[in-house]
Structures are given as C-alpha cells and as structure tokens.
C-alpha cells in the first residue's frame, strides 16, 4: 500500500494507527482475502473486514448517539430517526467516497473491471467505513472518546447539516 495515501487516510479519519495491521484488515474485502488464500496452497486465512463491519456498525451507532445528544437532541424518536438517516448505507457510501477509499485504491479487492467496481462501489465504501470505525476503536484500546472524535471528523458534513436544521 502507498504510505502517502495511508497517511492521508489517517488524517481524514483523525486517527493515526499504532497497529497498521488493523487498518489493513479494515481495508481488506472478504473476496480479496478468499482469492489470496486460494492463490497459496496451505496459506493461513487472510484477515478481512467482515467482522469489523458488524462491530463498526455498533460502535458507529453509539458514537452517533453520543454526538446527537451533545448537539441537543434529547428524544428517543428524534435521535433514532436522525441517527438512521446519517448512517444509512448510501450516506456511508458517500462518506467512503469522500475518504477516497476506492479513488486512492485503498480497499483491497479482486475486481479489475472498472465498470463492475463502480457497480459495487457503494457496498465496498459503506462496509469499509464501518470496518474502519471498528479498527479505530480497537487501535485506540477501546476508547469511545477517541473513536467518537474520529466519527465526528468523518461525519462532519452530515453533522454540520444537522446543526443547521436544529438551530
């Protein structure tokens, strides 16, 4: 991986990884890991983002709820609806595109055909955003405070838009 692009991504995430293996795992799509395993007979599993996506989804929900409460939202229904709007797959895909995950070839995937890659771009990007949030949480030694700061930076445009609506 290009170290300059990794450094730029860490800046956009607001987190410098101590354990770069966590970052690489978050950026590794399961299809890439499977293909790598098939290439090498007897090879160990290649860690990939699948479990990080699930974990990152939960951490993202928690971080967003905390941020929304800090912004003054204090009703369950309002928080739930607003959080769901911010974290829907299309918005997560847009966040991934803003982070330049595919544009900078940061996501490890096996697709060579650009048209096919564009067809799956939303899924690749949204899953990877969730995986990155999990990786940040783990790398920060499970610090919700540090992870929340990254979530706030990553979702700054969405949170700024929300502030305009509630003020």
Q: pLDDT per residue over 142-163, tens digit each?
A: 999 999 999 999 999 999 998 8
Q: What is the DSSP string of 45-68?
A: PPP-SHHHHHHHHHHHHHHHHHHH
Q: Tokens 């800090």 belong to which residue?
A: 70
Residue 37: give the domain boundaries. 3-166
In this predicted model, which residue has the larger pLDDT, 92 or 1?
Answer: 92
Judged against a pLDDT cut of 60, whether residue 166 lies above it is answered with yes
What CATH number did the domain enclosing 59 receive?
1.10.1520.10
Report pTM: 0.93
pLDDT digits (tens, 9 = 90+) for 39-98: 765 556 778 999 999 999 999 999 999 999 999 998 999 999 999 999 999 999 999 999
Q: How would DSSP label each residue in 7-36? A: HHHHHHHT---S-HHHHHHHHB-HHHHHHH
Structure tokens at 137: 């949480």
Which 8-state DSSP code applies to residue 108? B
Cβ partners under 8 Å of residue 115, min gap 6: none
Q: Which of 93, 108, 101 is nearest to 28 (CA)?
A: 108
Q: Is 164 exposed, middle or buried (0-12, 13-18, 19+ CB in 10 A)?
A: exposed
- What is the structure's pLDDT at 159? 94
* DSSP secondary structure letter of residue 43: P
Q: What is the pLDDT of residue 145?
A: 97
- Domain total of the chain: 1
pLDDT of residue 117: 84
Which tokens sit at 31? 């299809």
Percent over 70 (pLDDT), the chain: 96
């Amino acid at each position: 991986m290009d170290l300059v692009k990794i450094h730029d991504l860490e800046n956009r995430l607001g987190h410098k990884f101590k354990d770069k293996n966590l970052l690489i795992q978050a950026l590794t799509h399961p299809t890439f890991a499977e293909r790598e395993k098939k290439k090498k007979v007897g090879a160990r599993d290649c860690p990939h983002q699948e479990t990080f996506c699930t974990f990152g989804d939960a951490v993202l929900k928690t971080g967003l709820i905390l941020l929304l409460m800090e912004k003054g939202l204090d009703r369950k229904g309002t928080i739930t609806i607003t959080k769901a709007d911010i974290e829907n797959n299309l918005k997560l895909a847009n966040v991934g595109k803003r982070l330049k995950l595919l544009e900078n070839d940061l996501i490890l995937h096996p697709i060579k055909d650009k048209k096919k890659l564009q067809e799956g771009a939303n899924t690749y990007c949204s899953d990877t955003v969730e995986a990155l949030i999990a990786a940040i949480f783990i790398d920060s030694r499970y610090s919700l405070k540090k992870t929340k700061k990254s979530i706030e930076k990553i979702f700054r445009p969405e949170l700024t838009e929300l502030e305009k609506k509630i003020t």
